[in-house]
């Protein structure tokens, strides 16, 4: 005789769970933590007795009849026992003494309301046995709530002010102004008040919103706008300032930094908004203002649902997963809930760090760290055959321009041949989308690195044209990313720390800069809207003069350019350009669905011709001279002009995409004019 499994009743399950919760709370009364009982029960008892005594006095206008005092004494311990039990049932003995916040206050309110409701019920049902006045019961409930809450709050204050790590000050507190009276600024002031050991005393807020002026936040007045620093500095004896505007535009942050520098006021800033919202750092983890804070741009609007539909519950592979771009790709992709995220990286140390970070963020179950070199054909074939990824992000590359200029064979092998082989495997194993991270240095390249990236772009376009129903091959170009390994910002930081000089290649050199999260977000957006064969170019805003960048970084360090730190111009290095361009001369502009993503198309080369060129150039990578390899590269990439050491400033105005452009991006797509104006200034 077979029996069918009986499905549990949902209501029964819920009721059982609730019962277990109540039993657990009651168990705390039977087997409590001794210290909490020793401290809390006597304190609560004294407060509750005092509350009932005061309730009687208030009810009878401080002239309590003798019979009412007898009633008070008769029911005192029964009422106190009921209130003590209610506090235990609602978890007032399970919390750590020194911590008390809104959730604890809510449970305390429930306990007080429950005991008051029970007493009122007894008052109406058993009036002969329990005849206390209604006013006494209600007032007692309110006073008990306030008194018990005061006990818990006193424990918290004692922990923060006298017992905590930051409870004691090493010396007099420094008077600081908080710039930004929003949520972040308010949280910062609350934390500084609770941690006097940090040695910072907030005395005023400064905010751009006139509606907040002459108001207070946690007892700290909002004195006015940051532009009033001149008068506020002396009036309030300010010693430091904290910029608490993590979501403010970089332009506004730069203006405030300039004001602080003029007033010679020391300043720091709160962490970035993405770090605060993710919980990776706290608002009190202050840091120096970095050049990234001044070069960043307006937040990019990303269509997350489109990306989620592409990546959710899919197997995604990222090459170069330990690099600057690859690691950020992994972070953002993991947040979209893929079924499996494959981290391909040849550096064991970088892969381990990336794995540990993702595990800490809670993505350990969906990641697979794989040590592999994209040039290892059998290994990559095995990975794709086993996991069958739907999307591949190819970020592995050699990118150091002067180094690749001296050994172009390595750049060709990794950037061109490696990409071609990986693309062939992606097509063979049915990858739906293949996104290669390219560079603006691939446009009319003067470096071997840029030429190898351009050759990889040409190969992907030719391969897609040969198999238009197969894998969608996409390339995404962007400029320098702030904070990436090998970029100019870390180099300048090290040189300033060493006392200089700060080396700049040319006084007129300009570059585009993006933040890594911004660039990766737009890469994901490009992947979602790509149809195959496109070259997407990210709108990188206005170019930055490298000499000005050096001066800003020196000033942020509290030093003066040319006085404390020398700026030394050393000349262009092999392969470097004075400026970067947006598109090749034969590429035409195509509109996209995103205002910060540009698309350029060109007629694809014949696949057989490109394939033959790759085979020829790959025959003698390690035997041929660098100049010979560059000559072979130039045959495959006609726009490649090997570096000869000259600076062609007269070519700058010609940096303009071909074809008509929408008016709203006209300025963004004419960087040549902007660069020329910058140089003339």
Exposure letters 298-335 (e unless 16+ CB within 10 A, then b): eebebeeebbbebbeebbbbbbbbbbbbbbbbbbbbbe
Kindly tell me the burial class for residue 407, based on how many C-beta atoms sit within 10 Å of its own C-beta (0-12, 13-18, 19 or more). middle
Q: Is 677 helix (H, G, I), strand (E, B) or coil?
A: helix
CA–CA separation, 435 and 474 (whole Å): 5
Contact criterion met (CB below 8 Å) for 441 and 434:
no
User: Taking Cα atoms as reference points, which of 458, 448, 419, 429 lies closest to residue 320?
Assistant: 419
Give whole-number Cα distances, 41 to 32, 151, 153, 246, 435, in Å.
11, 11, 15, 45, 65
Give the 3-state secondary structure percentages of the chain, helix then strand then coil, rounded to 5: 50, 15, 35
Residue 201, phi then psi, degrees to nearest 5: -115, 105
DSSP label at residue 326: H
* Distance (Å, whole) CA 293 – CA 272: 9
In sequence order, what E strands does 379-493 have? 391-394, 433-437, 472-477, 480-482
- Are 459 and 475 contacting, i.e. CB atoms less than 8 angstroms apart? no
Indicate which residues carry an active-site annotation: 441
- CB of 544 closer than 8 Å to CB of 551: no
Look up residue 236 and give its DSSP letter.
T
Parallel, antiparallel, or unpaired: how do β-strands 597-601 and 588-590 relate? antiparallel
């Amino acid at each position: 005789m077979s029996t069918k499994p009986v499905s549990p009743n949902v209501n029964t399950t819920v009721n059982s769970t609730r019962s277990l919760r109540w039993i657990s709370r009651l168990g705390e009364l039977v087997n409590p933590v001794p210290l909490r009982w020793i401290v809390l029960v006597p304190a609560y008892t004294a407060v509750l007795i005092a509350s009932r005594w005061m309730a009687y006095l208030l009810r009878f206008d401080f002239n309590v009849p003798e019979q009412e005092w007898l009633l008070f004494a008769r029911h005192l311990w029964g009422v106190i026992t009921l209130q003590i039990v209610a506090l235990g049932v609602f978890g007032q003995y399970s919390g750590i003494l020194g911590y008390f916040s809104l959730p604890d206050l809510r449970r305390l309110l429930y306990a007080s309301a429950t005991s008051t409701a029970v007493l009122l019920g007894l008052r109406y049902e058993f009036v002969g046995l329990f005849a206390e006045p209604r006013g006494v019961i209600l007032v007692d409930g309110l006073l008990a709530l306030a008194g018990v809450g005061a006990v818990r709050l006193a424990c918290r204050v004692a922990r923060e002010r006298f017992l905590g790590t930051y409870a004691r000050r090493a010396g007099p507190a420094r008077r600081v102004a908080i710039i930004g009276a929003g949520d972040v600024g308010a949280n910062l002031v609350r934390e500084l008040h609770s941690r006097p050991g940090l040695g910072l005393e907030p005395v005023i807020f400064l905010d751009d919103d006139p509606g907040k002026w002459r108001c207070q936040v946690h007892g700290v007045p909002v004195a006015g706008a940051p532009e009033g620093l001149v008068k506020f500095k002396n009036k309030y004896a300010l010693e430091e300032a904290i910029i608490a505007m993590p979501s403010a535009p970089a332009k506004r942050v730069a203006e405030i930094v300039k004001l602080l520098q003029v007033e010679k006021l020391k300043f720091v800033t709160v962490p970035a908004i993405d770090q605060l919202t993710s919980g990776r750092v706290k608002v009190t983890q202050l840091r120096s203002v970095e050049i990234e804070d001044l070069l960043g741009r307006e937040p990019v609007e990303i269509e997350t649902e489109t990306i989620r539909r592409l990546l959710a519950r899919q197997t995604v592979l990222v090459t170069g997963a330990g690099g600057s771009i690859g690691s950020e790709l992994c972070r953002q992709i993991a947040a979209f809930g893929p079924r499996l995220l494959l981290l391909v990286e040849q550096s064991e140390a970088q892969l381990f760090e990336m794995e540990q970070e993702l595990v800490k963020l809670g993505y350990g179950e969906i990641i697979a760290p794989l040590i592999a070199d994209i040039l290892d054909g059998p290994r990559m074939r095995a990975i794709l055959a086993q996991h069958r990824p739907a999307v591949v992000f190819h970020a592995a590359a050699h990118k150091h321009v002067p180094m690749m200029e001296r050994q172009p064979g390595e750049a060709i092998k990794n950037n061109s041949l490696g990409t071609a082989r990986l693309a062939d495997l992606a097509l063979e194993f049915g990858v739906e989308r293949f996104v290669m991270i390219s560079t603006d240095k691939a446009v009319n390249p003067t470096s071997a690195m840029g030429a190898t990236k351009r050759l990889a772009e040409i190969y992907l376009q030719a391969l897609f044209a040969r198999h238009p129903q197969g894998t969608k091959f996409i390339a995404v170009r962007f400029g320098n990313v702030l904070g990436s390994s090998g970029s100019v910002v870390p180099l300048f930081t090290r040189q300033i720390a060493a006392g200089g000089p700060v080396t700049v290649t040319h006084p007129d050199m300009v570059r585009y800069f993006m933040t890594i999260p911004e660039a990766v977000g737009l890469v994901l957006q490009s992947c979602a809207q790509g149809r195959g064969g496109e070259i997407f170019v990210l709108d990188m805003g206005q170019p930055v003069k490298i000499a000005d960048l050096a001066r800003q970084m020196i000033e942020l360090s509290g030093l003066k350019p040319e006085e404390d730190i020398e700026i030394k111009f050393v000349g262009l290095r092999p392969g470097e350009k004075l400026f970067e361009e947006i598109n090749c001369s034969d590429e035409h502009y195509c509109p996209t669905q995103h205002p910060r993503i540009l698309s350029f198309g060109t007629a694809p080369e014949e696949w057989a011709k490109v394939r033959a060129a790759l085979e020829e150039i790959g025959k003698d990578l390690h035997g041929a001279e660098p100049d010979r390899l560059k000559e072979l590269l130039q045959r495959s990439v006609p726009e490649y002009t090997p570096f000869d050491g000259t600076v062609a400033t007269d070519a700058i105005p010609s940096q303009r995409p071909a074809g008509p452009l929408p008016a709203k991006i006209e300025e963004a797509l004419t960087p040549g004019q902007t660069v020329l104006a910058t140089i003339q200034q």
